[in-house]
Amino acid sequence: MSLFWQTLICGLLLGGMYALIAIGMTLIMGVMKIINLAHGALVMVGMYVTYVCFHYWGIDPYAALFISMPALFFLGCLIQKYSINTLIGKESILPENQVLLTVGIMLVLTETMRMIFGSDYKSVHTSYTGSSFFVGDVSVSIPMAIGFVIAMVFTYALHIFLTKSDIGRSIRATAQDKEAAILMGVNANKITIITFGLGSALAAGGGTLLIPIYYLFPDIGHAFVAKSFIITILGGMGSTMGALFGGLTLGIAESFGATYISMGLKDVVGFVIFIIVLLFLPGGFKSLTKR
Amino acid sequence: MKTISKVFFVLLLSVLFIGLSYTAQAKEKPIKVGIVLPLTGPKAMFGEMEKNSFLMAYKDLGEKTVIGGRKIELLFEDGQGKPGIAKSAAEKLVHKNKVIMLSGGYSSACSYPIAGAAQSMKMPFVVSTGAADKITTQGWKWVFRGTAAPASKYTGALFDFYDKVAHPKTAVLMYENTDFGTSSAKGFRQVCKKKGIKIVFDEAYEAGAVDFKPMLAKAKKSNPDTAYCISYVMDAALIATQTRELNWSCPFFVGGAAGWTMPEFLKNTGGAAQYIASTTLWVPNVAWPGAKEYYDNYIKKYGKKPDYHGAQAYATMQIIADVLNNAKKITPKDIRNALLKAEVSTIMGLIKFENWSDEFGHNYTNQNKPTTYVVQWQNGKLEVIWPEAAKSANYVYPVPKWNKR
């Protein structure tokens, strides 16, 4: 039985951090209706910011959240303002030229980091890295537990921000119907910039929380794009709570797949769920709550 | 008139110049050797180490890199660690750059398609690292592997250690589901069966996972006498730290080369590497001439410690220079003949390409016979513990529990 609980705890904790990264993607997807393939690269840049903070200035990774997230918010705003927004409304052969642009941004970010830091694997070693406590027979990793709690706090804060604040409501209005939002006096241009910044900051947050348990190299982003994409589809585009449940579902499913099927087929479990959801619940978890 | 003669003069000069430079070029046309390595992507770190080592060997070989007035030129091509791209990189080197032989490859997954392409293009390919058995069991005449043992033979010294010291009755086998991983695992299983060691848990995993605990928790439950785990560097580091988190003290935990001997492994485990053992093909303190110098010079030049992968690249360059010097003519066919006859003393020992079979009926073509070692991380240093003749420190067995390390 302890194996079952061990599996559940591992999946749940990891799923919480996946969710935070995916929420960033789902926000951007909801408002701009584009798939941001640079999302993983933004996670990676956020992780490097944290790494630099820790390695050169000795700042604890969790404290570095206050640096990496604003830094990525700023970077995200710049990317949206000076590259993606300039493409909106341009005629092109492919309607998805913004998606192609995000691929370009991903490559630029990845190769820039490779130029600065090289291809070496980096990791951050704090006093609590690799430490754990035991609940009965089940080992709970301390950095994973902290990461999970912080991720949940951020998710809740974001939820409050989106439902209660003025900017948050404008973001939701733009996501629901851009034309109508503009007619109501929402500055859609500004909103897209803020949304992209917010999405990037959440990506950085997720990356920073992962750094005490994982490692870092310039190409690490690809894995996160795939995972966030699955989670976004699971949860339903643009839904924060959907992404949260999507993240937890994916984390737990992967973990159970690894324990009871095979560790080698862990990713297959994620993709099978993805296909099942697309077939039987095309709107994601979101469509279950709304009629 | 004056301008016309001026133009004519310039034209004449340029024709002469082009003609001259052409003949000069023809005489000193370099001997091109194509090397495919993962220079970008997740395996780029290994690719860089091998490239650096190739270049170091090239420099150290000095006048041996000039043959009959023609310089050897190394052309590096990025295979990105992806089999398809590595194969087309090799084909590009042959068809477009007109190289005379191929080398590198790095991972088994990439070396195998390059080897297949080399065989069909009739182009000698000297494998530097790719260890999957199948690369030299196809009977491919143009594929040579000297610096790497077949993956299933990495465990020679380890089983000797098991026989003479550890006598395990049960073992756990964990491996990444790549060519190298499955090939190594197959070899381990076969020898275990022959020696009567029971494998109580046997599982493959996908590289790059964040959390290995589901697998490790199951392995811990089976309570084995020894564990053999084949992983790349960061998976290895995470597995080591997570075995500690789960408080699983295996009496003898052995890594299957690849990542387990890398300096980065030690750096990223934060102490969890203590007493973890590994198989390996090379250590800096082996007796072969040049090994220690290579190790020291590499650190001096690049500020990082190389491991056996770098040594393989260095030794491969030594082989390439030797066969090019001994080939009758610089053609793929003569280079192949030179490789068949070669007996090269490298930093990885004497390398010969031979045809032989093992006790499980595998027939190897152009494969050097392997020398393997067992190493163990002791207080932040990688010490050779087996075979006895080569040891640099005494083995620690059985390994103490985590709270006593």
Q: What is the DSSP string of B351-370?
A: EE-EEEE-TT--EEEEEPPP
Beta bridge partners of A141: A132
Nearest-Cα residue of chain A relative to residue B265: A121
A258·B215 Cβ contact <8 A: yes
pLDDT confidence bin for A291, thresholds 50/70/90:
very low
Beta bridge partners of B279: B374
pLDDT at B13: 56
Instruction: State yes or no: ipTM above 0.90.
Output: no
pLDDT at residue B27 greater than cutoff 60: no
d(CA B132, CA A257): 28
Domains in chain A: ranges and CATH: 2-289 (1.10.3470)
Contacts of B72 (CB under 8 A, 6+ apart): B30, B31, B33, B58, B65, B66, B320, B321, B324
Q: What share of chain B is helix, strand, coil (3-state, %, to 5)?
A: 45, 20, 35
d(CA B240, CA B266): 10
pLDDT confidence bin for B15, thresholds 50/70/90:
low
Retrieve residue A136's tokens: 């009965």
Give the pLDDT confidence of B223-248 residue by residue, as tens digits: 999 999 999 888 999 999 999 988 89
pLDDT at residue B151 greater than cutoff 70: yes
pLDDT at B58: 94
Nearest-Cα residue of chain A relative to residue B216: A259
pLDDT at B16: 54
Q: Count Cβ neighbours within 10 Å for each residue of B252-269 and write b for 16 or more, e otherwise.
A: bbbbbbbbbbbebbbbbb
pLDDT at B286: 74
Average pLDDT over every residue of B46-62: 93
Give the pLDDT confidence of A216-242 residue by residue, as tens digits: 988 888 888 988 988 988 888 778 888
A114·B237 Cβ contact <8 A: no
Lowest model confidence (mean pLDDT) among A73-82, A105-114, B2-11, B241-250: B2-11
Run of H or E residues at B386: strand B381-386
B238·A215 Cβ contact <8 A: yes
Do strands B277-280 and B373-378 pair parallel, antiparallel, or not at all (unpaired)? antiparallel
What's the distance, CA B338 to chain centroid? 22
d(CA B397, CA B226): 11
Which amino acid appears at position B347 of this protein? I
Cα–Cα distances (Å) from B294 to A196, B178, B305, B311, in that order, read: 50, 30, 10, 8
Mean of per-residue pLDDT scores for chain A: 88
Q: Which residues of A touch B268 (CB under 8 A)?
A: 121, 123, 125, 215
Average pLDDT over every residue of B328-335: 92
B212·A141 Cβ contact <8 A: no
Beta bridge partners of B72: B31
Contact B188, B254 (CB under 8 A): no
Q: What share of chain A is helix, strand, coil (3-state, %, to 5)?
A: 75, 5, 20
Closest alpha carbon to B104 in B129, B135, B83, B122: B129
3 state SS of B209: coil
Share of chain A above pLDDT 90, in %: 41
Closest alpha carbon to B133 in B100, B179, B201: B179
Q: Backbone dihedral region of B256: left (phi > 0), alpha (psi from -120 to 50 degrees) or beta?
A: beta
Give the pLDDT confidence of A29-59 residue by residue, as tens digits: 888 888 889 999 999 999 999 999 999 999 9
Retrieve residue B374's tokens: 């067992």
Retrieve residue B72's tokens: 């050897």
Q: Around Cβ A146, how many Cβ atoms within 10 Å?
A: 17
What's the distance, CA A88 to chain centroid? 24
Lowest model confidence (mean pLDDT) among A180-194, A261-275, B346-360: A261-275
pLDDT at residue A290 greater than cutoff 70: no
**What is Dmax (Cα atoms) for chain A?**
62
Residue B207 CB burial class (10 angstroms; 0-12, 13-18, ≥19): middle
Cβ–Cβ contact B218 with A under 8 A: yes
- Residue of A129, A132, A263 with shortest CB distance to B214: A263
Give the pLDDT confidence of A99-134 residue by residue, as tens digits: 888 999 999 999 999 889 887 888 888 888 778 888
Domains in chain B: ranges and CATH: 31-149+287-367 (3.40.50.2300), 155-280+373-404 (3.40.50.2300)
Retrieve residue B12's tokens: 């004449």
For chains A and B, CB pairs below 8 A equal 102
The A residues from 188 to 217 touching B (CB cutoff 8 Å) are 210, 213-215, 217
Cβ–Cβ contact B204 with A under 8 A: yes
pLDDT at residue B201 greater than cutoff 90: yes
Average pLDDT over every residue of A130-142: 84
Length of chain A equals 291
Average pLDDT over every residue of B361-380: 89
A259·B270 Cβ contact <8 A: no
Contacts of B402 (CB under 8 A, 6+ apart): B244, B247, B249
The arrangement of strands across the sheet holding B143-145 comes to B66-67, B70-78, B31-37, B101-104, B125-127, B143-145, B363-367, B354-357
The A residues from 100 to 119 touching B (CB cutoff 8 Å) are 114, 118-119
Cα–Cα distances (Å) from B370 to B149, B153, B179, B330, B384, in that order, read: 5, 7, 19, 29, 17
Run of H or E residues at B200: strand B198-205
Write down the residue that tokens 């996670």 correspond to: A43
pLDDT at residue B120 greater than cutoff 90: yes
Beta bridge partners of B173: B202, B228
Q: Which residues of B touch A44 (CB under 8 A)?
A: none
Nearest-Cα residue of chain B relative to residue A123: B268
Lowest model confidence (mean pLDDT) among A115-124, B99-108, B298-307: A115-124
d(CA A266, CA A264): 6
d(CA B129, CA B112): 11
Give the pLDDT confidence of A150-175 residue by residue, as tens digits: 999 999 999 999 999 999 999 988 88
Provide Rg for chain B, Cα atoms.
Answer: 24
Contact A255, A5 (CB under 8 A): no
Mean of per-residue pLDDT scores for chain B: 88
d(CA B170, CA B155): 16
The distance in angstroms from the start CA to the end CA of chain A is 39
Give the pLDDT confidence of B166-182 residue by residue, as tens digits: 899 999 999 998 888 99
Hey, CA dihedral for A12, A13, A18, A19, is it positive or negative? positive
Average pLDDT over every residue of B355-366: 88
Q: Count Cβ neighbours within 10 Å for each residue of B21-53 and write b for 16 or more, e otherwise.
A: eeeeeeeeeebbbbbbbbbbbbbbbbbbbbbbb
Give the pLDDT confidence of B272-298 residue by residue, as tens digits: 889 999 998 888 877 788 888 999 999
d(CA B78, CA B85): 8
Q: What is the value of pTM for the model shown?
A: 0.81
pLDDT at B7: 58
pLDDT at B4: 61
Cβ–Cβ contact B343 with A under 8 A: no
Q: Around Cβ B88, how many Cβ atoms within 10 Å?
A: 17
pLDDT at residue B12 greater than cutoff 90: no
B214·A262 Cβ contact <8 A: no
Q: Which residues of B touch A123 (CB under 8 A)?
A: 234, 237, 267-268
A215·B45 Cβ contact <8 A: no
Write down the residue that tokens 């799923």 correspond to: A15
d(CA B84, CA A108): 23
Share of chain B above pLDDT 70, in %: 93
